[in-house]
């Protein structure tokens, strides 16, 4: 082997033996971003918000109108298709609608009794037989189902019909109007047509509307309220929303998230765990086989079973990656696509025991730039704690992963600012993952072991990368320093931090403290070269040819990289001439 060129770096494929890995793959890749082929360190998570403490912690966080919300349950939130100020929520008791700081039950009650009609005055001409109903209407334009139909009313032109029995609207739903309908015969036949709207009242109403003066057909005849057990709320195109209860899949009336007609229900063979939408396709993840539904209107949705034994074992591990819906199964991470295909994409990364060791049934997940990020908290066979996050990258083979030190209780991806946020398991703070304005943290990447056909010696090495901080880096470091100094000053003003015995045992290391470390002004780098398992050199120079120790030969060679310098490539060769021939500048 004349030399060794490392570039187009990728991540770990732990199921494959280290010596069988692809040339650019890693035995270990920690706190490193690998989306462009370079070794680029992730940036330090940035504090965003200190969420109030909650006994037992949070399982869901959500950013709504620049405010942070949190729940102890698995809650699904979706911004409404009707107005941007409305947030729809399932999983926190009965379904809810939030407008600003006000929370309403999503279900809209209908009047519980029919109207009574009395005819007065005299009329002429043909007699007409009518039936009356009315509905409640909220300040947000939501309309309830109608009341029961009145008895038949026979009247003639010139007569008036007085309607009584209107109910005062129930409190707590912001009902402001009533809409009144009567049967008429129009071009599409006889139906209930709109005749008037008035402020919500229990007062009588006098119908003096001409026989030929009527509006739209009653739209809310089948507007069933959502069941209290509705869960898994998911937005879809064309004003649709989907959710589930048990084995029943529900769809709302388009553009009417308060109405969930029972005529749209589809039923699976297994209890539904979670939903995910890709365009007009809906992935239904169950405790058994996944299902696939497609359509542009709830009345035309077609559902088929995907014949794969890939149950979803954890709704918090489900994530929409844009090109697929990813979810944890017993065997590994599954990706389901808009074409109705579902497959395990981590087969080259984990066998079943290794995957189960990460406790996928309790993993919470997020996504950033199409990468699946799953945070786990587990214990190995020796009782050692396993915590951190997996970053699984690749829409197609080869799939690889890297790891992060982040330990999250919950994730939230905000599509409006393209940022991934998480609730830090150790501090209770909401932070942004890999923020563009953050300072780089120490990365670690270790190559596969290269086995030469015969023992040999590499004489020179060159590391190419970006060792000088850019103006943006300098600005980020300066800003991070200012934040740390402010926080440290506040802590030093009250050095105990609490009353005596007020802090938890093992909160700080021996001789440690709670002060924030100031970020380094300069980038750091260390490239370690191993021969037959022994460290023979540690290089910290970038863009220069560096001599390696001589006087020995080895068959197995490895390279490990740490620090905050972005690495473009690493070249090792016997001589400087070979190094130049291999592409070292």
Please indicate whether residue 506 or residue 371 has the higher confidence score (pLDDT).
Answer: 371
pLDDT for residue 185 is more than 70: yes
Task: Label residue 387 by pLDDT band (50, 70, 90).
Answer: confident
Given this model, what pLDDT does residue 128 score?
84
Enclosing H/E stretch for 276: strand 272-278
Q: What is the pLDDT of residues 524-553, one digit of tens each?
A: 999 999 999 999 999 999 999 999 999 999
Given this model, what pLDDT does residue 463 score?
95
Given this model, what pLDDT does residue 512 score?
54
CA distance 536 to 471: 35
Cβ-in-10-Å burial (0-12, 13-18, 19+) of 111 comes to buried
- Identify the top-confidence range among 239-243, 337-341, 466-470: 239-243
- The verdict on domain 3-44+444-489+514-581 having CATH code 2.60.120 is yes
pLDDT for residue 399 is more than 70: yes
Given this model, what pLDDT does residue 84 score?
81
Q: Shortest CA distance to 90 belongs to which of 102, 106, 110?
A: 106
Q: What is the pLDDT of residues 140-180, one digit of tens each?
A: 999 999 999 999 998 887 788 999 999 999 999 999 999 99
Which pTM does this prediction carry? 0.87
Is residue 134 within 8 A of residue 111, CB to CB? The reply is: yes
Q: Is the dihedral of CA 206, 211, 216, 218 positive or negative?
A: positive
pLDDT for residue 505 is more than 60: no
Q: What's the mean per-residue pLDDT of the chain?
A: 89
Enclosing H/E stretch for 367: strand 364-368
Given this model, what pLDDT does residue 93 score?
96
Given this model, what pLDDT does residue 126 score?
78
Given this model, what pLDDT does residue 499 score?
55
**Encoded tokens for 502:** 């007020």
Write phi, then psi, for 404 (nearest 5 degrees).
-130, 150
Q: What is the pLDDT of residues 448-472, one digit of tens each?
A: 999 999 999 999 999 999 886 666 6
User: Could you tell me which residues come within 8 angstroms of residue 336 by beta carbon, excluding any fewer than 6 positions away?
Assistant: 276, 283, 285, 290, 292, 306, 324, 325, 326, 327, 342
Is residue 136 within 8 A of residue 200, CB to CB? The reply is: yes
Please indicate whether residue 481 or residue 88 has the higher confidence score (pLDDT).
Answer: 88
Domain boundary assignment for the chain:
3-44+444-489+514-581, 116-207
């Amino acid at each position: 082997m004349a030399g060794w060129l490392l570039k187009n770096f990728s991540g770990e494929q732990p199921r494959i033996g280290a010596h069988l890995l692809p040339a650019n793959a890693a035995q270990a890749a920690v706190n490193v971003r690998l989306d462009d082929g370079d070794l680029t360190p992730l940036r330090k998570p940035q504090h965003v918000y200190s969420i109030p403490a909650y006994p037992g912690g949070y399982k869901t966080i959500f950013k709504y109108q620049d405010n942070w919300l949190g729940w102890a349950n698995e809650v699904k939130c979706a911004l409404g298709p009707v107005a941007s100020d409305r947030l729809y929520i399932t999983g926190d008791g009965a379904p809810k609608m939030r407008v600003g700081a006000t929370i309403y039950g999503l279900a809209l009650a209908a009047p519980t009794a029919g109207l009574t009609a009395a005819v007065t005055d005299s009329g002429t001409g043909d007699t007409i037989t009518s039936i009356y109903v009315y509905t409640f209407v909220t300040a947000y334009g939501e309309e309830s189902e109608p009341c029961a139909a009145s008895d038949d009313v026979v009247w003639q032109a010139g007569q008036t019909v007085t309607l009584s029995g209107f109910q005062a609207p129930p409190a707590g739903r912001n009902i402001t109007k009533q809409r009144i309908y009567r049967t008429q015969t129009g071009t599409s036949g006889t139906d209930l047509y709109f005749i008037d709207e008035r402020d919500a009242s229990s007062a009588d109403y006098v119908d003096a509307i001409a026989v030929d003066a009527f509006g739209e057909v009653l739209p809310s005849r089948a507007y069933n309220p959502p069941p209290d057990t509705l869960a898994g709320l998911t937005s879809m195109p064309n004003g649709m929303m989907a959710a589930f209860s048990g084995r029943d899949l529900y769809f709302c009336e388009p553009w009417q998230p308060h109405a969930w007609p029972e005529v749209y229900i589809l039923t699976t063979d297994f209890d539904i765990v979670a939903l995910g939408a890709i365009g007009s396709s809906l992935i239904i993840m169950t405790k058994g086989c996944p299902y696939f539904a497609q359509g542009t209107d709830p009345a035309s949705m077609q559902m088929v079973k995907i014949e794969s034994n890939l149950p979803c074992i954890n709704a918090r591990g489900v994530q929409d990656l844009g090109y697929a819906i990813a979810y944890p199964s017993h065997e590994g991470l599954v990706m389901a696509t808009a074409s109705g295909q579902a497959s395990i994409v981590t087969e080259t990364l984990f066998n079943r025991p290794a995957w189960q060791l990460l406790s996928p049934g309790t993993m919470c997940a997020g996504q950033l730039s199409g990468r699946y990020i799953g945070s786990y908290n587990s214990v190995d066979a020796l009782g050692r704690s396993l915590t951190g996050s997996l970053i699984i990258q690749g829409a197609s083979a080869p799939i690889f992963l890297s790891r992060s030190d982040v330990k999250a209780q919950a994730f939230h991806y905000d599509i409006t600012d393209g940022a991934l946020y998480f609730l830090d398991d150790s501090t209770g703070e909401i932070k942004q993952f890999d923020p563009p304005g953050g300072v780089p943290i120490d990365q670690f990447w270790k190559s596969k072991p290269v086995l030469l056909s015969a023992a040999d010696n590499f004489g020179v090495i060159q590391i190419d990368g970006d060792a000088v901080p850019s103006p943006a880096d300098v600005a980020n470091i300066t800003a991070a320093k200012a934040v740390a100094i402010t926080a440290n000053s506040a802590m030093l003003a009250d050095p105990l931090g609490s009353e005596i015995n007020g802090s938890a045992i093992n909160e700080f290391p021996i001789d440690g403290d709670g002060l924030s470390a100031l970020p380094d002004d300069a980038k750091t780098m260390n490239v370690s070269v191993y021969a037959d398992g022994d460290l023979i050199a540690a290089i910290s120079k970038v863009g220069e040819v560096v001599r390696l120790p001589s006087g020995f030969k080895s068959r197995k060679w490895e390279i490990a990289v740490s620090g905050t310098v972005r690495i473009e490539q690493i070249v090792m060769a016997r001589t400087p001439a070979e190094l130049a021939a291999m592409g070292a500048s």
